[in-house]
A and B are shown apart, each in its own frame.
Chain A
């Protein structure tokens, strides 16, 4: 039994790391949803683009520096974030501006088509061969009381916490953050109060792109191979966001972590002990999603919306 317990603990920590990535992706579309009521199905693809761009920069810089070291990774991260800023602005022009007042259906389909375009474009540019991602931490691990934690997981958790803290601070305490909140509440009223709504939208898309690209940078070393199937993980962040309550930032974080733990635990120890879990472990997030939507459609932290005619 203790073997089961340590297994569960070990996988929980790995699950928290995966959950943090889900949470970051979920944060990306929560940001966009809060401000513009657009649901961005392409967030997973933004993450994938981030992983590829970062890989490109790492190989370029390590070629220039003549080897891999910490500075190479930092410089690559910095360049990826600059790329993300431009990427976000482009996405705002393509998706948000022309489709501002269209019905939900068209917007969802537009973001899905964007997702398809990004995925196939990446595959076309990167070529047919899968890449092997480079981790800045190698395979180093920390031992703590019979539990082995990989440094990479720890780094993911820490950087996710820092990012989320930054966002929380930004939304609640800065001028632009409050402007974003006001815009999401009622964009017309915000416009009347002198908030530059268009700039707020652009900023939101930029932030979402930055979060997406950072989550890609963090996720890539966890993958065995870097290819375009990575973007399907972005779809799994939707259950996370819905579990927490769509449009709520703490909800996205909690939902992401819960789902990450559920997924890794069901894939690991539990599937060795219970045969039936093995059959369902890769769809467990979707079962959770449907269950949540049936029982409590507003999620854990969501507020029920009353629709007016």
Chain B
């Protein structure tokens, strides 16, 4: 679930870091702004928003739908009933490891995403003449605020909890057939995403004020 998301996180973050660097450079035409601003803006955008909120929105689609459809299929194929009859606490047995696993793994994914995003920007500095590698490296180190990393990690842990618990809820209470499992999966992704976006505003207000 979390470990399997490493490749997709790598691809998305690498390209997003690259695109951010290019777009920032292309939009800075003011000669008063130093060229290292490109690295600084790329770094802060990645740290503050992309690696926590946007990555979690993407993972809500991948991991959330996976959890909801897996548990939903277990429900409609009576596997959850089988556990209940045995006296096993099915919710505890099925859902708790998923929430725990994802919440514990998400900080690694976020750090991995930060690293890949910054590397993506560095590749642009190497392969184009938009910015020199030395300026880019100077920019990503300039005025670094460590709290932004903690802020990103705190947000991602809360978002991971939302993704895993909302998706598990929709899967666990699915009923009917294959169509209903599909609906449960869609509802899980949509509602997780809405909750993430709403909480993002609240957390930003609390943690960055």
Do A and B make up one complex? no
Identify the B interface with A (CB < 8 A): none
Identify the A interface with B (CB < 8 A): none
